[in-house]
Amino acid sequence: MPETPVLYLWARCSACRNARQALMWSGVAFDERDFFKDRLSINEIRRIVALSSADAVFSWKSPSAEAHRERRHELRPDDLIELMAGEPRLIRRPILVRNGEISIGYPLRTRT
């Protein structure tokens, strides 16, 4: 039996609200996790990163990432995971995890 999809988001993010609305309109049942209210643990971030890469999940365009951009190619995946665990603004959003696949950003890549 397939898992219920999980939408990881920040409620104040317009792309996240659009993703939530698109899922609701499409009739997809999903769980929602606002990772600014309920922060992701390092292990949860590792599980998300395992579906893609730490570099893809890290929000390099975020103003919060400015201090890390010059070292982008020096930072190991574990370094990025620790940074994301400490500052949720460094996690790209929204993230949809569905049936072992990940979609990062909006518009979401969804398959029925």
**pLDDT profile of the chain (112 residues), mean per 10:** 90 95 94 97 97 97 96 97 98 96 84 47
CA distance 16 to 11: 7
Which CATH entry fits the domain spanning 6-104: 3.40.50.300, 3.40.30.10, 3.30.200.20, 3.40.50.280?
3.40.30.10
Tell whether omega for the bond before 2 is within 30 degrees of 0, i.e. cis: no
Where do the structural domains in the chain lie, given as residue ranges? 6-104
Give residue-wise pLDDT tens across range 17-30. 999 999 999 998 99
Backbone angles phi, psi at 69, to 5 degrees: -60, -40
Tokens of 55: 């570099």
